[in-house]
């Protein structure tokens, strides 16, 4: 039986985790979950939000399904997510964004995959207070990290029958840092003649995305622009409740929804488990359970088509009702 680390998180984390585990079981996939807690609640008992045991578990299983965790503001703890990505060298953040059935959005047929470099740029955390009126953050871009994320994006495009990779930078202003990222992407693009390669500046990209998102296929971005643009893309397909994500490295992968712990609706059975479920479907593909993933996706789509939706999608179903309907469609 395949072992997978399950990080339950906090806020709505435990509710959506329970829903997804139930659905996977109903689909007939037997997983030996190594359940790990992390986040705000863990600080009280273990002193840190991401204890070493969580990292060790992922190192042991190789793959994790993670629900959101709260990062307390101003308490001196590094974000659990940033820490996990760093400790496990999860250098690629992958966010497929496509329309789901019966989820009304401004545009139809959006099908964009955002590939975000996950380890450096302004997220390297190199900041200093120069004097009381000046602060400084350093943007790090290296050839090694830029080449490997570009290779990831082009490999992904080939394996998933995508036609184009569009690289998004601000290389006209950040001439050295974004310039290096762009140079590396161009070098890698030259090795993939079957994939079209396009360059765009990030400001123009944002405008084009909200005017005509259907022109984009795979987007490749450094960390900060990737963070912002991937949320923009989540908005295009109906919001955080349905936006899936994955952090992938050479040896390990962590699949997680894009959204946070939603403390405003925690414990009320209101959360939409779709983003967590879509992330779990990608996790199932990753561990070789593609067929089960497809089966679950079909049941999810049937549920949405039957107009069973949670409040964030203007529906009236609770998280439990939504989950049970998916399970009913699974056995249909």
Q: Check binding of 49 to ligand NAI (CB under 6 A).
A: no
| 66, containing H or E segment | strand 63-66
Q: Which stretch binds ligand NAI (CB under 6 A): 50-58, 142-150, 161-169, 252-260?
A: 252-260
What letter does residue 255 receive in the DSSP assignment?
E
Please identify, using beta-carbon distances, which residue of 4 and 265 lies nearer to ligand NAI.
265
Q: Do residues 195 and 157 touch, judged by C-beta distance below 8 A?
A: yes
Q: Do residues 61 and 34 touch, judged by C-beta distance below 8 A?
A: yes
Interface pick for ligand NAI out of 15, 34, 178, 256 (rule CB under 6 A): 256
Q: Which stretch binds ligand NAI (CB under 6 A): 150-158, 171-179, 254-262, 285-293?
A: 254-262
Q: Which stretch binds ligand NAI (CB under 6 A): 52-60, 92-100, 166-174, 260-268?
A: 260-268
User: What sign results for the dihedral spanned by CA atoms 302, 303, 304, 308?
Assistant: positive
How far apart CA 36 and CA 41 sit, in angstroms, is 12
Residues in the chain: 332
Interface pick for ligand NAI out of 271, 280, 284, 327 (rule CB under 6 A): 271
Please identify, using beta-carbon distances, which residue of 81 and 169 lies nearer to ligand NAI.
81
Q: Do residues 171 and 179 touch, judged by C-beta distance below 8 A?
A: yes
Please identify, using beta-carbon distances, which residue of 46 and 231 lies nearer to ligand NAI.
231
Q: What's the burial of 87, exposed, middle or buried (CB within 10 Å: 0-12/13-18/19+)? A: middle
- Pick out residues in 293-322 that bind ligand NAI (CB under 6 A): 312
Interface pick for ligand NAI out of 5, 169, 272, 303 (rule CB under 6 A): 272
What letter does residue 99 receive in the DSSP assignment?
P
Q: Check binding of 241 to ligand NAI (CB under 6 A).
A: yes
CB of 9 to ligand NAI, least distance (A): 6
Q: Which stretch binds ligand NAI (CB under 6 A): 142-150, 199-207, 270-278, 297-305?
A: 270-278
Interface pick for ligand NAI out of 6, 202, 246, 262 (rule CB under 6 A): 262
How far apart CA 6 and CA 239 sit, in angstroms, is 24
What is the residue whose two structure tokens read 């955390």? 125
- Pick out residues in 58-117 that bind ligand NAI (CB under 6 A): 68-71, 81
CB of 219 to ligand NAI, least distance (A): 20
CB of 25 to ligand NAI, least distance (A): 20
Which residues, 6 or more positions from 161, have their beta carbon under 8 angstroms from its beta carbon? none
Q: Check binding of 14 to ligand NAI (CB under 6 A).
A: no
How far apart CA 145 and CA 298 sit, in angstroms, is 37
Q: Can you name the residues that pair with 129 across neighbouring β-strands?
A: 135
- 228, two tokens: 């912002």
Q: Check binding of 54 to ligand NAI (CB under 6 A).
A: no
The footprint of ligand NAI on this chain (CB under 6 A) covers a number of residues equal to 20
Instruction: Indicate the angle between helix axes 223-236 and 202-211, nearest 10 degrees.
Output: 10
Binding site for ligand NAI (CB under 6 A): 12, 68-71, 81, 240-241, 256, 259-265, 271-272, 275, 312
């Amino acid at each position: 039986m395949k072992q997978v680390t399950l990080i339950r998180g906090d806020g709505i984390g435990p509710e959506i985790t329970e829903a997804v585990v139930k659905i996977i079981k109903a689909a007939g996939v037997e997983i030996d979950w190594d359940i790990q807690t992390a986040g705000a609640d863990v600080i009280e008992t273990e002193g840190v939000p991401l204890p070493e045991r969580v990292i060790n578990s992922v190192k042991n299983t190789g793959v994790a399904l993670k629900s959101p965790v709260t990062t307390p503001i101003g308490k001196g703890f590094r974000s659990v997510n940033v820490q996990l990505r760093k400790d496990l060298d999860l250098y690629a953040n992958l966010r497929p964004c496509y329309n789901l059935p019966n989820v009304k959005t401004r545009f139809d047929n959006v099908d964009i995959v955002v590939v975000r470099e996950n380890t450096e740029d302004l997220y390297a955390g190199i900041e200093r207070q120069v004097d009381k009126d000046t602060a400084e953050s350093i943007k790090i871009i290296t050839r090694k990290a830029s080449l490997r994320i570009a290779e990831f994006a082009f490999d992904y495009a080939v394996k998933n029958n995508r036609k184009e990779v569009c690289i998004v930078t601000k290389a006209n202003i950040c001439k050295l840092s974004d310039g290096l990222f762009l140079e590396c992407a161009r070098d890698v693009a030259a090795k993939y003649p079957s994939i079209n390669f396009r360059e765009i500046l990030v400001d123009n990209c944002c405008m084009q995305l909200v005017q005509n998102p259907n022109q984009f296929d795979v987007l490749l971005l450094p960390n900060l622009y990737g963070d912002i643009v991937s949320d923009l893309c989540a908005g295009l397909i109906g919001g955080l409740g349905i936006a899936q994500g994955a952090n992938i490295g050479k040896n390990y992968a962590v699949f997680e929804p894009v959204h946070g712990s939603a403390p405003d609706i925690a414990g009320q059975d209101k959360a939409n488990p779709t983003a967590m479920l879509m992330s779990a479907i990608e996790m199932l593909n990753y561990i070789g359970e593609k067929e089960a993933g497809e089966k679950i996706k079909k049941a999810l789509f049937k549920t949405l088509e039957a107009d069973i939706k949670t409040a964030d999608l203007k529906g009236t179903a609770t998280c439990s009702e939504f989950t049970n309907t998916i399970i009913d469609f699974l056995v249909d």
